[in-house]
Chains A and B, each alone.
Chain A
Amino acid sequence: MKKSTPPHLPLRFFRWFCHPKLRDSIEGDLIELYEEWKAKSGKLKADLKFIGDVVLLFRPSIIRSAEGYQTLNTYGMLKNYFKISWRNLVKQKMYSSIKIGGFAVGVAACLLIALFIKDELLYDKHYSSQLYRVLGVITEEGNIKKGLAFPAPMAAALKEDFAEVEEAGRYNNSELFGAGPNQVRPDGVEDNAYDEGFVYFDQALLNMLNLKFIQGNPKTALLQPRAIVITKSKADKYFPNTDAVGKLLVVNNRAEQPYTIGGVIEDFKPTSHIQFDFLIGTEGLQFWEGEQKTWNASNYATYIKVQEGVDVAALEAKLSKGIIEKYFIPNMIKDGMPQTEIDKVFKEKNAHLKLQPLSKVHLYSSDINDNLVHGDIRMVWLFGGIALFVLLIAVINFVNLSTAKSANRAKEIGLRKAVGSLRSNIVSQFLLESVMFSLISFLIGLAMAGLLLPYFNMISGKSIVLPWTEVWFGPSLLAFALGVGVLAGIYPSLYLSAFKPIQVLKGNLTRGAKSSPLRSTLVVFQFSTSIILIVGTLVIYRQMNFILNKKVGYDKEQVLLLQGTNTLGGQVVTFAEELRALPQVVEVTTGDYLPVRGSKRNGNNFWNEGREDIDPGVSSQFWRVDPFYVNALGLKLVEGRNFSRELASDSSAIIINQKMAKQLGGNMLGKRIYNYASLWTVVGIVEDFHFESLREDIQPLGMVLGVEASVLAVKLQSGNMSESIQILTSVWNKFAPHQPIRYSFLDERYAAMYADVQRMGRIFTSFATLAIVVACLGLFALSAFMVEQRSKEISVRLILGATVNNVFQMLTWNFLKLVVVAFILAVPLAWYLMTKWLEDYAFRTDISWDVFAITGFTAIMIALLTISYQSIKAAMMNPVNSLRSE
């Protein structure tokens, strides 16, 4: 009887599902009943009855809850973890604020830069992916040059000759033909207003870009001669609250030839590389007789739309070959160019066409001179890299401080383990703690980002807002916070959870280690990054200084540029004479062609007389100026003379620069040279001056007489500038009462050419400061910790006769060593990176040794200051204080 037990399986089942509180007593009941039944009716019946009872017991109130006690337990532990984390945070205010502060700075930087990058990557994504911009590529003297100006008939040829091209359209934004800035007014209004963003635009391109029309018919808006499409903001400016379609716009006072508004489109998105406001239709337009048919002048940016599913690489090759063979080469032959020269262009220099997807225009066009404002993929990488580094430095601080302060938590961990914590529990505790820190830091970082946004927008030249309302923003931020929290917590949690409880509780932990290899590595990394950023900042500022102080070959100070003088028509000469008579004015010249970027340019080829069919020609600039130009801008004549008003023959005189003289064979004075327009006699040679950015070499240049004056350059006497401007304004108002005076200064325009360098300098300064601050915070906390750990040792040393100086040196050297190592590592890398950067400039400063000397000195001084506070405090303390507790 004793041996027989209830059936095993049902019993185990019962024991498994039953609530632990009830289990024993009910099991007792079951067994008692089983024995009774067995005695009464035999084993089989008892078994069956037992099974039945077990099955009937399987009901909600008896079954234990799915997690049983554990739910309660974990909740309690979590509460405990939070409590302890919080108490630790509050207890060590300095460490906590450094951890969180550093983290928050990293987060804020990362967030801003992520938004910046997102904005950059968003460019032109709203246009169809079938759209391509046609580029011309040619290799000259080892440099690959890209351009996008093509002959007028090329777009039509592309569409006609290639089935893969669904549509082709052009725009022309050259100021030579009246695009760009102009004076404008609605017909019937007297006062002119100044506006930029004029462009000649094909209806086909309008269709391809699929622009959104607010008024007018998108399909026919530009199909009438002298039609114009304007953006909504301009429609609101000139025709508020009315339907603008059909109204007339007068440009540059030419009331007899107004433009008729064919439609109003929405403003181009800020993330579009095409940014125009006045699109003038090309229907029936030609700038000179036969202009639309000629393959000799390249003025049109050409876009194509390819058929869906076309292999673009193959099409590119096909287009290039087709267009060159069918149009370019026959045209050159017709012009009498010898076959050797043609071969040179297409074989040796490998001239060909390329298709650039619109989505790549913004970031991958820094080598294309297209008069558009571009981003640069390298900047995106640079920014991204910096963001990552700042965050990494912050995370390193976190890891460093967590492991450094481990001694303080050792007893806690030992105790936890002694009362039954598993290692995994401790790991999750510290992960939780780090996530908590991360979340707090993210909140603060977010607030910081919000505050810094205006400043960031200023230096990055963007208008970014924090996308609170977008669905992805909150969750991805949270995910990022958790991710970074876990990442930063992994090492400390594994490190801390590995403590052996017995050793720790006995007090044997190797306390805090003077400098563990890992911690040293991290400090070295932080300082290397900071040093690279400091070197970068210094070099950029030096280059900027170099640019601003470089002798560019002309005098850019005290030159005022009066804009919009083309509306004066024939009166412009009288106006200039009147200005010249003023005592405040040194000289006045027509200033359409100015030695700064963004003013008028006119590319042309020159040959020595009689060589035009033999030589390839010198590709150069061809400017029309007046006799005052050379003096007004302070150009230096090295040979020959200036233009003279008295000599009628000077209408065919030309002044060239040294570069041109050299490329034409030298000794040019008095010789005659030819371009497509006519023959010119060289009367003077000026010293080379920089009329383009210092990134580029100086180009050949020829200047002839001409009266083109939409800008007057006025060289003023130094002295009271505001008074001079007042006087100029009064003269202006006499001549143009319906047009407000508009002016700028040549030196400002010059500096604006390098706005990107300045921006880069500011960005580097900001980030270098950030990186240094965060790294110093870390170093400060580490040194504080070290002093704390070694306070007894220091006290003993002091008692045994060490001087304050000895102690200070001992404590400081430890860290300075690391900074020195970081410096040695960073210098070659920084040198390499900045040399690469400077290669963008044809004219550049050198990276001299003093850049590194200054950087090294700064880094060491900063580190020294950071550490010395703690070191001196330790060295000056009364040894009794830390020894008496023993």
Chain B
Amino acid sequence: MTQMKKYQLGEFEEIVMLTVGVLYGEAYGVSIKKEIESRLKRGVSVGALQTALKRLEDKGYLKSHEGKVTEERAGRPKKYFQITAYGKKAMEYTKSTRDELWSAIPKVALDVKFS
């Protein structure tokens, strides 16, 4: 049980983590937002995203560093995110629990559902 708690990851948080992984090295606020929006076809507010990013960083799943200052951002730096080893473990844990759950569903149930 303690393990569960240790690696707790919300649905949106998981998506953010995965996206950061997908964007490997190029993940900063705007790019993550766009990636999620284009892949999942859903709108993401800056507020929601930043909240999730901050929480993940606080938990130690993500780390960040500031990039170069660019002109189109009026001199504001980009903050690039990277998955930490700990974050990777959390993602793996989440995936494995999902898989376990999937494999535990009896065939019948799925059949009924699909029929």
Seen from chain A, the residues whose Cβ lies within 8 Å of a Cβ on chain B are 5, 22, 24-33, 35, 52-53, 55-59, 61-62
Contact = CB atoms under 8 A, between A and B. Distances in A.
B30 A59 contact: no
Interface string B30-62: 100100000000000111101100110000000
B29 A62 contact: no
A655 B78 CA distance: 120
Given A25-B66, A29-B28, A29-B30, A57 B76 contact: no
B59 to A, nearest CB: 12
Given A25-B29, A25-B66, A61-B55, A31 B50 contact: no
A32 B74 CA distance: 8
Nearest to A18: B50
- List the 9 closest A-B pairs by CB distance, nearest first: A28-B76, A56-B47, A25-B79, A29-B29, A57-B47, A28-B73, A56-B45, A53-B46, A61-B51
B25 interface: no
A62 B78 contact: no
Contacts of B78: 25, 28-29
A22 B54 contact: yes
Contacts of B74: 5, 27-28, 31
Given A25-B78, A33-B30, A53 B73 contact: no
B76 A53 contact: no
Given A24-B77, A25-B78, A61-B55, A32 B72 contact: yes
Interface residues of B, number: 20
27 contacts: A24-B76, A25-B66, A25-B78, A27-B76, A28-B73, A28-B74, A28-B76, A29-B30, A29-B33, A29-B46, A29-B78, A31-B72, A32-B72, A33-B33, A53-B45, A53-B47, A56-B45, A56-B46, A56-B47, A57-B47, A57-B50, A59-B47, A61-B51, A61-B54, A61-B55, A62-B51, A62-B54
Contact of A31 (B33, B45, B73): B73
A61 B46 CA distance: 13
B73 A22 contact: no
Contact of A32 (B30, B47, B66): B30
A57 B46 contact: yes
Interface of B: 28-30, 33, 45-48, 50-51, 54-55, 66, 72-74, 76-79
B30 A22 contact: no
Contacts of B46: 26, 29-30, 33, 53, 56-57
A32 B79 CA distance: 13
A62 B77 contact: no
Contacts of A56: 45-48
User: Which residue, of A32, A33, A53, has the highest number of chain B Cβ atoms within 10 A?
Assistant: A32
Contacts of A30: 46
Contacts of B50: 22, 26, 29, 57, 62
Contacts of B45: 52-53, 56-57
B51 A59 contact: yes
A22 B66 CA distance: 11
A56 B33 CA distance: 14
B43 to A, nearest CB: 11
